[in-house]
Structure 1
Amino acid sequence: MESLTISIIVIIGLFAFLAAGMWVALSLFTAALVGMYLYGNDSFGYIYATTTWGAISGWALTALPLFIWMGEILFRTRLAEDLFKGLTPWLGRVPGRLLHVNIVSCGIFAAVSGSSAATAATIGKMTLPELKKRGYSDKMAIGTLAGSGTLGLLIPPSIILIVYGVAAEISIARLFIAGVLPGLLLVSLFMGFTMIWFAISGNKSADETIEKIPFISKVKKSAALIPVMLLIIFVLGSIYGGLTTTTEAAAFGVAGALVLASLTGSMNFKTFMDSLMGATKTSCMIALILAGAAFLTTAMAFLGLPQMLAEMIADMQLSNFMLLIALTVLFVFLGCFLDGISVVVLTTSVVLPMVSQAGIDLIWFGIFIVLVVEMSQITPPVGFNLFVIQGLTGKDLWYIAKAAAPFFLLILLAVFLIILFPGIVTFLPEQMTAN
């Protein structure tokens, strides 16, 4: 049987397994086994053992469970409550008022959780009831949360950037610093849109009673945020300054999170074990997906699919811009059915060779992938953030998707901006290399 025919069977089989509800990791393993069997390779047991072990035993991956654990610890503290109370005095007089608390809170929490779903769930529990009580538009409150929740994928320490860095074999520290300016760009776009919406909407009556608070009082109300902000600055600053490796910074982050949780009275034996088990479950899920993706990548390599696709793209003589547009459509489509990490590990082996051949910087491409995957997080039918917010609000999924639609378009705008001005992504990594 020809390699192309087998590859088509494998791809169809993979989507059939996923559609049937099989775990992503098991779907990857099964599709790879089918490909190996049809190809006539009877050494798949040995190949399975070596490739999967190599995929999940790299030292760079040790940062992953540590950052997840850091997020799990802070998830169980009063951080979300402190964010709302601490940011309200500063944002209450800005056009859009407390809707900006959703955006800024998600941006800050993203820097300690690294997870999109955890960011949306944690901030949403605190802000949505409060915004509703104060008379803000339900749809806009949900939209700002859905859009801003995706920041957990981009703002470092991002779990998905660690996964991409390992798959692409590039510096995770440089990926982290590359995500800073695009993350700030998204926050600015979200806040700008919210201000414009607030100015032209009929929702100006919401929270008209906000009083003017003296500067000193604002600082006092925000005091609870200072330890968390210092932890974020220390963890990320130590990486960017070259003082620690990504893994060492993650270990310091866990230690700092444990200290903060203890000082706030949130830490007890049950909380500690819950955070540890939460981090273990998430880390094991990601490791299993990575192992399955590595095995499927090896099977595809035997079949020659990456080379065939790269040659096909080369023969089409697409410009870099058209190639990126085609990949944007592909990633958004895949994101309609898979979570972000699965999209990344499924596609890197096939996509990276053609991206490298086109001369596209792999650091820049990592941020591009994450931005596009962010769009898929608020795209039906399997937009993870939509499900999270549905669980919080009980609203219809399509209602939430409509509320999130403007923020989908804003993320798309950010994608075009980094394509037109790649320096938004590459400037800080280049400065890091120069120093």
Structure 2
Amino acid sequence: MTGFDADATGLKVGIFLFVMFFLLGTGLWVGLALIGVAYMGMIGFTPRNPGSSMSITIWSSASSWTLTSLPLFIWMGEILYRSRLSEDMFKGLAPWLSGFPGGLLHANVVGCTVFAAVSGSSAATLTTVGKMSIPELRQRGYPEFMIVGTLAGAATLGLMIPPSLTLIVYGVTVQQSITALFMAGIIPGLVLAAMFMIYIGAWSFIRPEQVPAAEPRMGFGQKCRASVVLLPVVALIVVVIGSMYTGIATATEAAAFGVVGALVLAAIQRSLTWQALRESLLGATRTSAMIALILMGASFLTLAMGFTGVPNALAIMIAKLDLSPIALIAALTVFYIIIGMFLDGISAVVLTMAIVDPMLRAAGIDLLWFGIFIVVVVEMAQITPPVGFNLFVLQGMTRHDMGYIARTALPMFGIMILMVGLLVAFPGLATWLPSVVKGQP
């Protein structure tokens, strides 16, 4: 690449970034900002007709069959959020977790892990489990710092443990199998949950004076009887996740099974009122429409970037720098943490993949593995100010100021940094399960 080409590429990237941040700074919706940047790029740097290209690209992205699983999984989570699941989860989990070092604080982590497997959303996981655990833990005298911090970190598991909305969006963006990505997220998600629980156990040993008195002991039979209320949600997880991994259903068909199962569960619990059904539909519609608009804008931006030659030029420049894959991953980690301070996770993924995708392919990095990596880094963004979404949700639930909540989440942020290191050192955490499970679509 000549110096002139490098200068021209840098100028194009600078203009794209300036226009993008200008539009986002005005408060324009992310999807519309992406369309505006792409339209400007088509007019300024290519001879093509932006109107026809935009209409074809937006229609193609919006009519993707793979994307139909997204609103269904969102609707399933909305239905369960309005059921009595939160109350039943604490009753069923508490007897088994009270004996762990750190006591019932583990209910935050295990509850988020369980609900993440039927939600796909960090916000829904946080709200549901927080509604369950915060009053109970406060009543038992657990420190507020640990209640808020562990909940902030553990709720991010909703982004990784399938069905994950972020993994669906990533898979559609880079054309990877949604089912394979879901499988890739299971082991890292469980490892991260275990690391959160180890942190709670370590806290209980370092600060034993802050740990409340142990719960009354229960026999094995009593614990089993208390856990019966967990059977419906466990059955739903088995149906949704199991149908995909055994090849019985695609991700979209599994999502449909999940919606039917959630409706049946809500009906059994007598929480399926007309108002709850209407609110769940409206909530799912709003979230799905927001994500769809972002994906439409991202598809048009990807096309525009391709016409301008910026992604390929950047990939060539990166290749000429001769960065090792680890050095590239380290740079991208810092890059996504900074971006995540200002954008939500899904926006961060679709905004950047048009440029990052060619770099990854040029460096020989497995896109399946990178999907799990980017979810972990995006999880960090959920608990980093100024736009950490989990922080806002927790502020509304606890009435603490943002600075306090961010400080409580700082140890969980450090654990996620450690998780990135584990993924780099042991890539098989993400790639092993998809490689051994047969029958994936």
Scaled to the shorter chain, the TM-score interval is over 0.9
Normalising by structure 1, what TM-score?
A: 0.97
Q: Which residue of the partner structure matches residue 356 of structure 1?
A: 361
Please say if residues 137 and 203 of structure 1, whose CA atoms lie closer than 8 Å, have aligned partners that are also in contact: no
Give the one of 10, 22, 25 matched to 2:16.
10
Distance 1:214 1:137, change over 3 A: same
| Aligned counterpart in structure 2 of residue 102 of structure 1, from 108, 130, 141 | 108
Q: Secondary structure in 2 aligned to 1:249?
A: helix
1:220 maps to which of 222, 225, 245: 225
Aligned length: 434
Secondary structure at 1:406 match in 2: helix
Matched, 1:54 2:60: yes
For 2:369 and 2:390, locate their aligned partners in 1 and report how far apart those are by CA, in whole Å.
25
Distance across 2 between alignment mates of 1:316 and 1:71: 45
Write out aligned runs for 1:293-312 (5 A): 293-312=298-317
CA apart distance, 1:130:
1.7
- Name the amino acid aligned to 1:165: G
CA displacement, residues 267-307 of structure 1 (integer Å, 9 cap, x when unaligned): 01111111111111111110000001111111111211101
Contact 1:7/1:35, CA 8 A, preserved across alignment: no
Residue identity opposite 2:245 in structure 1 = Y
Amino acid at match of 1:170: Q
> What whole-Å deviation, never above 9, does each CA across 1:386-408 have from its counterpart, x for those lacking one?
11101111111111111001110
Q: How does 1:156-175 map to 2 (within 5 A)?
A: 156-175=162-181
CA distance in 2, matches of 1:7, 1:323: 19
Q: Please say if residues 42 and 50 of structure 2, whose CA atoms lie closer than 8 Å, have aligned partners that are also in contact.
A: yes
**Structure 2 counterpart SS, 1:136:** coil
Consecutive unaligned residues of structure 2, counting only runs of 5 or more, are 1-6
CA contact (8 A) 2:73 2:259 kept: yes
Give yes or no for contact 1:155–1:179 (8 Å, CA) kept in 2: yes
Residue 45 of structure 2 is matched in structure 1 by 39
Aligned match of 1:265 in 264, 270, 276? 270
Contact 1:3 1:39 in 2 (8 A): no
C-alpha deviation, 1:131, in angstroms: 1.2
Query: 1:128 is paired with a residue of what secondary structure?
Result: helix
In the superposition, relative to structure 1, how do residues 167 and 144 fare at CA in structure 2: closer, same or farther (>3 Å)? same
When structure 1 is superposed on structure 2, of 150-159 and 266-275 the one drifting more is 266-275
Q: Residues of 2 paired with 1:215 and 1:303: CA distance?
A: 66
- Aligned AA (1:189): M
- The aligned amino acid for 2:352 is T
Runs of 4 or more consecutive aligned structure 1 residues displaced over 6 Å after TM superposition: none
Instruction: Note if contact 1:239-1:245 (Cα within 8 Å) is conserved in structure 2.
Output: yes
Q: Give distance in 2, aligned partners of 1:37 and 1:5.
A: 15
Which residue number in structure 2 is paired with residue 393 of structure 1? 398
Specify the alignment match of 2:130 in structure 1: 124
Change (3 A) 1:41 1:144: same
Root-mean-square deviation (Å): 1.4
| Aligned partner letter, 1:293 | A
Q: Indicate if the aligned counterparts of 2:46 and 2:307 stay in contact, CA closer than 8 A.
A: no
* Counterpart code for 1:44: P
**Which AA in structure 1 matches 2:197?**
M
Aligned-residue sequence identity (percent) comes to 53
1:56-94 Cα shifts (integer Å, max 9, x gaps): 211111111111111111010011111111111111111
* 1:178 pairs with one of 176, 184, 192: 184
The equivalent residue for 1:134 is 140
Give the Cα separation in 2 of the matches to 1:289 and 1:88: 40
The alpha-carbon deviation at position 41 of structure 1 amounts to 3.6
Residue equivalent to 1:275: 280
Counterpart in 1 of 2:374?
369
* Unmatched 5+ stretches in structure 1: none
2:26 is matched with which residue? 20
Q: Which of the numbers 52, 70, 74 marks the counterpart of 1:68?
A: 74
TM-score relative to the length of structure 2 = 0.96
Work out the CA distance in 2 between the residues paired with 1:157 and 1:359.
27
Give the secondary-structure state (helix, strand or coil) at the position aligned to 1:222.
helix
1:395 counterpart letter in structure 2: H
Q: Secondary structure at the match of 1:98?
A: helix
CA contact (8 A) 2:125 2:158 kept: yes
Checking the alignment, whether the CA contact within 8 Å between 1:95 and 1:198 is kept in structure 2 is: yes
Q: d(CA) in 2 for partners of 1:44 and 1:402?
A: 46
**Aligned 8 A contact 1:136 1:203 in 2:** no
Residues 172-219 of structure 1 show CA distances to partners (whole Å, capped at 9, x for unaligned) of 10100100000000010000010010111144441x151001111111
SS of 2:168's equivalent in the other structure is helix
Letter in 2 for 1:46: S
2:351 matched to which residue of 1?
346
SS in structure 1 opposite 2:103?
coil
